[in-house]
């Protein structure tokens, strides 16, 4: 599927440009968002290097390049993230991807983002609180 995205729809350079545009757009919208903006503001020391890391991640995830070799989950463990942030993160990502990427690439990116959002959420909030909501600690 990833190879098909790359070969059938566009060359690598165009795909890399679309990924950079998507990451830039996501952080534009996210920075202005009342829920995510303060988290980004507090925790991202320098935006440009961060955008590059995240673009490298997507290049690795969607095109199979090796520029990103990190472990994204671990980076999120100590961030001030609440369970409500995930739905917002995903909906802003979908918007950014739809605006900036050709359809096949956007579809692949959104599927990966959807899956990772679920994995991050269940990894960071593995328990349920008294009301049955995901929680960092047991009830
Ligand atoms: C609640 C939702 C999320 C929030 C608020 C959030 C916020 C952040 C912040 C603030 C950083 C920078 C951390 C630092 O430099 O110390 C970061 C890094 C990153 N995030 Fe997220 N994130 C969220 C979900 C996701 C998801 C679902 C993905 C995967 C598609 C993702 C991918 C990444 C990547 C690749 C990095 C860079 C990791 C590295 O430095 O190696 N994030 N995120």
Please check if 50 is assigned to a binding site: yes
Nearest atom in ligand 1 to the alpha carbon of residue 71 is 41
pLDDT band at 8 (very low <50, low <70, confident <90, very high): low
Give the model confidence (pLDDT) of 26-66 as tens digits.
999 999 999 999 999 999 999 999 999 999 999 999 999 99
Contact between 53 and 70 under an 8 Å Cβ cutoff? The reply is yes
Question: Which CATH number does the domain housing residue 79 bear?
Answer: 1.10.490.10
Q: What is the atom index within ligand 1 of the atom nearest the CA of 89? A: 2
Q: How many domains does the chain have?
A: 1
Rounded to the nearest angstrom, the distance between the alpha carbon of 24 and the centre of ligand 1 is: 14
How far away, in angstroms, is 79 Cα from ligand 1 center? 9
Residue 14 has a CB neighbour count (10 Å cut-off) of 13
DSSP assigned state of 71: -
Domain boundaries, position 102: 2-135
H runs (alpha helix) in the chain: 2-4, 12-32, 37-43, 47-63, 72-76, 84-100, 103-124
pLDDT digits (tens, 9 = 90+) for 58-116: 999 999 999 999 999 999 999 999 999 999 999 999 999 999 999 999 999 999 999 99
The closest residue, in CA terms, to atom 41 on ligand 1 is: 70
């Amino acid at each position: 599927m990833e190879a098909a995205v790359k070969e059938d729809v566009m060359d690598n350079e165009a795909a890399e440009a679309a990924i950079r545009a998507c990451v830039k757009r996501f952080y534009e919208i996210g920075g202005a968002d009342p829920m995510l903006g303060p988290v980004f503001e507090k925790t991202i020391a320098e935006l440009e290097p961060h955008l590059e890391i995240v673009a490298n991640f997507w290049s690795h995830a969607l095109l199979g390049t090796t520029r990103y070799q990190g472990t994204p989950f671990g980076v999120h463990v100590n961030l001030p993230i609440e369970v409500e942030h995930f739905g917002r993160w995903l909906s802003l990502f979908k918007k950014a991807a739809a605006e900036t990427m050709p359809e096949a690439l956007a579809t692949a990116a959104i599927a990966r983002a959807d899956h990772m959002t679920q994995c991050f959420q269940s990894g960071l909030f593995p328990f349920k609180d008294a009301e049955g909501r995901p929680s960092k600690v047991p009830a």
